[in-house]
Amino acid sequence: MSTKVFNLPDLGEGLTESEISSWRVAEGDVVEVNQVLADVETAKAVVELSSPYAGTIRSLHAAEGETVDVGAPVITFDLGGTDDDGSDEEDGGRVPTLVGYGSAPDKGRPARRARRGTSGPTSAAAATAQTEPPAADAAQALRPADEAGRSGERPRSTPPVRLFAKQNGVDLEQVSGSGAGGVITRADVEAVLADGTATPAQGPRAAGSDSTGQSTATRTLGGRPRTETVPVKGVRKATAQAMVSSAFTAPHVTEFLQVDVTETMELLAELKASRDYRDVKLTPMTLAAKACLVAMERTPDVNARWDEQAGAIVQQNFVNLGFAAATPRGLMVPNVKDAQAMSLTELADAIRELTGRAREGGLSPAELSGGTFTLTNVGVFGIDAGTPIINPGEGAILAIGQVRRMPWEYRGEIALREVMTLSLSFDHRFVDGEQGSRFLADVGAILRRPGLTLTMV
């Protein structure tokens, strides 16, 4: 019976690692070629990992929530669908293999962590040679969690469960595991927290009291632990790296412009009430996006990019319009390809569709790459203005603030008008102040008097 080891492939764009978001299979499952094995979160999107083989899942080399380097083993297959060691998979005889990763001294690649009391492999290749635990280790793995605690070994659980227990002050030595082989699950930890029997994993805190006599040590924000460590990975890690790179590479200049957008808001209301746009999701950002596309016809420099290697400016005569979308995974910036060729309805539909899939984690890496200009709407959070950081590889980003009803000079008198603040950041290496100012002024003019668009196209 032959075995095949499936190493994590490069899922696109030269990414070096991915996180196992969720497994779709378990050890002992029989799978077909191209069957989805897992949902894998990269720095850009959640993608499905498909099987290159038909056979039986012999072992999974990473737990859900674990980050795996590209090229490291993720699954070992038995080809043919049966074990060659005579074990009975249908009666639950197979015990989950809980593994971790560490740096191998010879190649620097992740290797499977050795079980306690055994010699661990020193490379990723050696890690896959031993796919079943020795009999002694298997017997130890089947002991209840409390027996493992008394023997001095760490209770069996996955890295995310250990982190969850640590964050909530639960000592895993005191938790009984309900998983296969006595493995402690997240539900086991939650059950301990629910019945109030959690034993602190750390020593007692020094507690004081306020004027009412209530302990200050037990009063925290949102009832959460006093401190929490949140791993930075996936989208948040990529965003942090990109923003640092952009902020310290591209010389940013930010300009602001307050605009009376009363006529634009009136136009928006009219469009929503019309039959042609009744089913179209139109927002102030949609109209601002269209204004940007029109203004780029006169100032295409803000849509260019800087080629560091060639020492040249690359003029892009198409617009892949990016827009910032807040999602549970962090800030994502999908982009509408060839937005310059779209009607207002097409643009609105594209933004709505991409926003929905971004929140569901269903975007492809291609939809998150190749942007040329970005629009971000800070107004939805009740914010007027900011200094947005340019997306790496782009020349400018425009932030639109909330629409405020405020006193404003109108036709020689003071009147209550709808006012918005625009904030444009641009790369001063190739966008001069004159170009950035002209573009911002044109966007403002269109939003001030939408009818002016007819004079610009």
User: Residue 238's closest CA among 450, 373, 42?
Assistant: 42
Q: How far apart are CA 304 and CA 245, in angstroms?
A: 18
Catalytically active residues are 428
The contacts of residue 250 (CB under 8 Å, 6+ apart) are: 306, 390, 427, 428, 429
Residues 6+ away with beta carbon under 8 Å from 156? 98, 141, 145, 148, 177, 181, 182, 183, 184
Question: 3-class DSSP state for residue 322?
Answer: strand
For the chain, the farthest-separated pair of C-alpha atoms sits apart, in whole angstroms, at 92
Place of tokens 């009999």: 135
Alpha carbons within 13 angstroms on the beta-carbon side of residue 444 total 20
411 within 8 A of 275, measured Cβ to Cβ: no
Q: Cβ(304)–Cβ(319) under 8 Å? A: no
In this structure, the strands spanning 335-336 and 312-314 are: unpaired
Report yes or no: 302 and 392 within 8 Å, Cβ to Cβ: no
3-state secondary structure 333-401: CCEECCHHHCCHHHHHHHHHHHHHHHHHCCCCHHHHCCCCEEEEEHHHHCCCCCCCCCCCCCCEEEEEC
The residue type of 52 is P
Ordered alpha helix ranges (H), 151-297: 159-167, 186-195, 234-247, 262-273, 284-296
Dihedral sign computed on CA atoms, order 399, 405, 407, 413: positive
